[in-house]
Amino acid sequence: MSELTNYCYRLRRRPEGPLAKADLEFVQEIVPSLRDGQALIRALWLSVDPANRIWMSETHYYLPPVDIAGSCGGIGIGQVVESRRADMAPGDLVNGLIGWNGGT
């Protein structure tokens, strides 16, 4: 597969008070080659809800906090682009915690 780019929001610092632009960083990253057991998913729909703000803090809610420089989580729907898993084929639609990522 040709080189793909992932566009991602990464947590730069824990917000204090309302979320500020400097709390997140929008980055472009090269997608690494898949290893056995992995699949590459293109995010089609992402949720943004109040829990996202809690996950940016140090509070453990029903999921652990986002690590500094980590990608914020989000429930979403995605499509398999490439797969090295027997249970997922390119074109399949999937849902779950796929994060605030996207790519081309």
Query: What pTM was estimated for this model as a whole?
Result: 0.79
Domain extent, residue 72, equals 5-103
* Cα–Cα distance for residue pair 31/34, rounded to 1 Å: 9
pLDDT of residue 22: 96
Confidence of residue 104 (pLDDT cuts 50, 70, 90): very low
End-to-end Cα distance, the chain: 12
Beta-carbon neighbour count of residue 96 at 10 Å? Answer: 10
Sign of torsion, CA 97 55 60 51? negative
State CA 100 to chain mean position distance.
Answer: 4
56 touches 65 (CB < 8 A): yes
Taking the C-alpha atoms of residue 27 and residue 55, their distance in angstroms, rounded to an integer, is 19
- Residue 17 maps to which CATH number? 3.90.180.10
Mean pLDDT, the chain, as a whole number?
A: 89
- How far apart are the C-alpha atoms of 100 and 46, rounded to whole Å? 7
pLDDT (tens digit per residue) in 38-80? 999 998 998 888 888 998 999 988 888 999 999 887 889 999 9
What's the pLDDT tens digit per position in 27-37? 999 999 999 99
Count: domains in the chain: 1
- CA–CA distance from 74 to each of 3, 25, 92 (Å)? 25, 16, 19
- When mean pLDDT is compared across 8-12, 16-20, 48-52, the lowest value belongs to 48-52
Q: What is the pLDDT of residue 48?
A: 84
